[in-house]
Structure 1
């Protein structure tokens, strides 16, 4: 199998052949400026020619601050592991602890290395009848959530997220497998997207 080089796809300049959300719902979709402010400009795809295609339409991405939050979280976790291993290994003389601690440390460091590329692979698209979410480089996932199947749209953020002004948006449906969590959205973008999805979901369920 031959591999092609990375092909970043501009999130704002990709051709649009699907019907936009605004025309499908009869209302106004969130302004592109609100959804794309402070986000990455291109989705990074895997090198393999057998990757899941992006298709047509406008893709929106997560905030650049998402990487900073993830780096801080992973570094704090790594520091906690090292501190615990030092206490057990040096103070309590439990030498075996260095083996699992080393494995966890290596996994965490590798995660930090690939984190920027993984973050740039996350994107979502507002189509006429559904929201499409995609993420992943090594393990790709692409799922379409019909607007009429949405039962709950939830915004959550922890203390670190609030400090950087980002949040995650969770879409809950009757089928757990089709649920989607979009991380790293700017607070304003998450709130506007939530309001729009709720309005569209209510319209689809009532058949208007």
Structure 2
């Protein structure tokens, strides 16, 4: 690739849709009334090296109000072969208000209960986080950052790093799902060791 061939984009438009970027794909679970809600998110990540996790949401969605009202949420990292199930969690709610009160598709999605917070996980996920709400930071345009403190972590044994297995083999045997915004996904099975400089510490 030639390094000097750039196109400047208008920042007043949605320029993020003009280029692909790699992101995780997670499904956030929340308590909603007497039932539960699941929603896919790709603007989601650990916040630092301690037990904090955050994701971007909008006050127009039920997930925002559910997390704020009930003070907790879960995070499921789906296996690549569960991408269709993860996609179904974006199905429209029956509510006309846009904030969600009923998600009938959940009856068709395999889920499992969280152990410490009142919410659910996707059953077909390799990493599950249980979070208590720490804070909500509003006004990123129409979006907000929802931050949770992780109180429980569950990792499928096939995805767990151990000293007796090479990382490359682990990722090959238990591949990862990536979201390529906008609107594509990839299965990550091949990887290489990152070429850190000598004496680098994270």
Task: Output the TM-score relative to the length of structure 2.
Answer: 0.21
Larger Rg: 1
Normalized per residue, the structure richer in strand is 2
